[in-house]
């Protein structure tokens, strides 16, 4: 089995229109997204070669672009779309774990709701993990 090193991109702040009630989607709200990309980093590390490394700046741009691109009702939908996009954007990424943190407007006494999913390349083509 291949080495599954992890690259963690934490706390990507995005202004999104997200929520089940329409009134919650009217104004952008701040959420945070974490992405953990599983890859074999040995080729890049061995030669100190950024060309052999996963481009995590591009991964961050992908996360932000998807999150801020259009309104959604479900945090789950956003997490799934981000995971699939990150698997497509770099063939060296074996799997992606996405965590979306949201302060729930409908639950004012709850600090946050967090959805976490993990999708792998092997099963990404079938749409499951």
Catalytic residue among 6, 15, 51, 102: 102
Q: Is 51 a catalytic site residue?
A: no
Given a contact cutoff of 8 angstroms between Cβ atoms, the answer to whether 60 and 12 are in contact is: yes
Distance CA 74, CA 94 (A): 25
Q: Please give the distance of CA 43 from its chain centroid, rounded to a whole number.
A: 24
Residue keyed to tokens 């702040």: 13
Active site residues: 102
């Amino acid at each position: 089995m291949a080495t599954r090193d992890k690259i963690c991109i934490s706390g990507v702040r995005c202004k999104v229109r997200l929520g089940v009630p329409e009134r919650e989607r009217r104004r952008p709200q701040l959420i945070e997204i974490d992405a953990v990309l599983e890859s074999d980093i040995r080729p890049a590390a061995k030669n100190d070669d950024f060309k052999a490394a996963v481009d995590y700046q591009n991964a961050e741009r992908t996360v932000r672009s998807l999150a801020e691109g259009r309104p959604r009702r479900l945090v789950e939908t956003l997490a799934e779309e981000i995971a699939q996009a990150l698997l497509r954007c770099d063939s060296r990424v074996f799997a992606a774990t996405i965590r979306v943190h949201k302060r729930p407007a409908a639950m004012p006494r709850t600090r946050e709701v967090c959805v976490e999913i993990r999708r792998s390349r092997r099963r990404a083509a079938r749409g499951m993990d």
